[in-house]
Chains A and B, each alone.
Chain A
Amino acid sequence: MDLSVGMTWYLPVIWSLLLAVAIAMYVVLDGFDLGMGILFPFAKSDVEKDQMMSSVAPFWDGNETWLVLGGGGLFVAFPLAYSIVMPALYLPVIFMLLALVFRGVAFEFRHVADTSRFLWNIAFAGGSTLAAFFQGVLLGGFVQGIKVENNAFAGGPLDWATPFAFFCGFGVVAGYGLIGAVWLVMKTEGAAARHARAHAKLLLPAVLIFMGVVSLWTPIAFPRIADRWFTTPNLFYLAPIPLVTLLLAWFVWRWLNEGRENRPFFGVIGLFLLGYLGIGISIFPNLVPPSLTVWQTAAAPASQIFMLIGTVFMLPIVLGYIAFVYWLFRGKVREGEGYH
């Protein structure tokens, strides 16, 4: 095969995988700290709220950086897709960003505030919940497809606002709530951990229902997705995915009831990745469904190669020092433990 043709085929595939890794990292890592924010209003006391905050305080900044890598990565590797998807999902993107602004500053303001602390509690919980909701709306808006003409978004400003997108929004709130709950099960003690475990038991069935409905809704509403899943031989290769998901969910349920502290968190990460894999299978190789593929939207090979070299060197180092900080702040946050 001609080398340059090979490169123009492989590079976009490699980059779509790297982008998928970045977004998966974001969904898992910021998922648990947004989820903690979603559960924040249900904390029974200020002590419990402080404990919840402390469990993510050293990490949230780094977690959110994966969102910049996701958006930045799309810009770097697939500038055409970035230039179509962002205007198409204009309002939910900006609503999500504004919600993140609120919750991000609430971390620090809440800590310095005295009498106005309750306001930042509200900003923190509201911001976290809305950010999660609009991330789900973005997912739904992306999966359902974007109208493209002449390599540009050609739809209206509210095209994304469908029942499916809103449904995905609620699904992501439930999902982040679940991973936040099992994070707290792992990282806190006492009342906070007990409450988190109870929340996790409520949220796990809810998340499964959302996943189930989306799994049925997408093939019914979008024939391209039905073709991908329900034709042979794909059907046989892909059937294990929902089965493994159900099995893992059953394990998580058991671990929650058995009083396990760490396993539920890693089990829920597994559930997230399986759901994520399912979406990937439904979409790939499209990057702007239903019309543009990763190859059609790719940056110039010279740009993708230049960035790939940096990524191959930097990503292991980045993952290394992130792991180091998680290790440094390992262990549980006890009752009465402060922030800073």
Chain B
Amino acid sequence: MEFDPVFLARIQFAFTISFHVIFPGFTIGLAAYIATLEVLWIATGAERYHRIARFFTKIFAVSFAMGVVSGIVLSYQFGTNWSHFSHVVGNVIGPLIGYEVLTAFFLEATFLGIMLFGWNKVPRGLHVFACIMVAFGTTLSAFWILSANSWMQTPAGHEVINGIAHPVDWLAIIFNPSFPYRFAHMVTACYLTTAFVVLAVGARYVYQGRYGEDARTMMRMALGLIAILAPLQAYIGDSHGLNTLEHQPAKIAALEAHWENEPGEKGVPLVLFAIPNEAAERNDYQIAIPHLGSLLLTHSWDGTFPGLKEYAPNDRPPVAIPFFAFRVMVGIGVTMIAIGWFGAWLLWRRRLFETDWFLAPLQHVWPLGFIAILSGWFVTEVGRQPWVATGILRTVDAISPVSGWAVATTLALFVLVYGIVFSGGIYYINRLIARGPQDVAIDTPEEGLPSRPIASAHQATRAAINAPGE
């Protein structure tokens, strides 16, 4: 049996990077949330902030470990599976990743030690500082990796000499045209994702009548953030779309399943549903609203944008995946705004914690952000095809000289190992959530550093963790 190494390598990368992005997608927001809780704890002295912070720190530890190990894999896969990509764009992409390691990875990984193990060993101020450093590190990491990804989408500041990209202007490379939009969109998405997990956990406890004020605090903080960020995200997403139309119009044509501007027809309709038929270059079973596509993308009634037929077939991205993934993402975005505003309204009317019909489904909203993030990445990565670096290198040319069976073997192993690890992670995070926030004996030194930090054991935490759930 012959294996196509390009197809297998693409599946493998899609699988490993989709698996990976789930964790930073969660921990970027969670680190910021824990840091916020600790600042509130110090500012107000209210013990519930401390309990919630410690509770989420345990979940953070498990999630972060999965993010780290799946991220190390990616830093090597550029070379193992996409060696020609590494050679052609290494001069430009390499330093961006190098800066990510030096400014972000070490920062988060090192201060994580204090964040997880320093509760009883360092003064509160230093612990808060460590949390802020971890949160800052995760965000900085997003900055560099999104800059690298955005450069692949909308390259700038470089010149191609003998087929190899060379840097000309680093500022233009880092702040390439799509980067500010992608960065704002992704960081906001991370915060929303975390907020929906916190909201679901809080709703679960309130609905079950557990953890009184702790659970209500989680819900209040999450809903407040969602009510503001979800609509803001719609605005950022719209701006990001306009930027994509300017720089990658074929991607927009694909995600709107817009084949052509028919002569005599004014404006572009918005396709609500269709089955894109790439062989026949049309949509089957289409339901569309006239002019709405123009209104959204050109902000005018009769504006047009290029259709897919204006591109040679081998320059077009696949249509079905961006089309459907985009609709999933936008659908979730709208749902998030509805939940945020309705929940905030209930909170304002002081009815939220009694409205059982709303709390019951809210317990299950935790995957929303993850699905939206994955859908969004499917839109932007599949929509970039057939290029791996737009206009510079095609995906089929980026591959390593490795045999199909070697890629097939490692792909099978990745699916197996990640399947086990993911199931374990979900299972253990669920257990931590079922146990809920615990009262912990604190003997945080107020000042000065203890002489034998490791020695002051975390017996209390351990006892709490090993205690059976209620």
* A residues neighboring B (CB under 8 Å): 54-55, 57-59, 61-62, 64-65, 67-69, 71-77, 79-80, 82-87, 90-91, 93-95, 97-98, 100-102, 104-105, 107-109, 111-114, 151-154, 156-157, 299-300, 302-303, 306-307, 310-311, 314-315, 318, 321-322, 325, 328-334, 336-340
Contacts and interface: CB of A to CB of B under 8 A. Distances in A.
Interface of A is mostly: helix
Nearest to B414: A98
B79 interface: yes
26 contacts: A58-B117, A65-B101, A65-B109, A67-B72, A71-B75, A72-B97, A75-B78, A79-B86, A79-B91, A87-B79, A93-B79, A94-B76, A101-B69, A299-B94, A302-B167, A302-B168, A303-B92, A303-B94, A303-B167, A310-B103, A315-B102, A318-B110, A325-B114, A332-B454, A340-B61, A340-B458
B431 interface: yes
A337 B425 CA distance: 25
B83 A152 contact: yes
Contact of A340 (B94, B414, B417, B465): B465
Contacts of A79: 86-87, 90-91, 94
A178 to B, nearest CB: 23
A253 B370 CA distance: 54
Given A72-B97, A105-B65, A310-B103, A329 B117 contact: yes
B365 to A, nearest CB: 24
B109 A61 contact: yes
Interface string B401-436: 111011001100110011001001100100110000
B4 to A, nearest CB: 16
Interface residues of B, number: 83
Contact of A314 (B103, B402, B409): B103
A68 B455 contact: no
Contacts of A111: 465
B400 A86 contact: yes
A91 B410 contact: yes
A114 B466 contact: yes
B62 A338 contact: no
Nearest to B122: A328
B331 interface: no
A311 B72 CA distance: 20
Contacts of A302: 91, 166-168
B289 interface: no
Nearest to B57: A340
Contacts of A105: 62, 65-66, 69, 421, 424-425
B453 A85 contact: no
A81 to B, nearest CB: 9
B118 A328 contact: yes
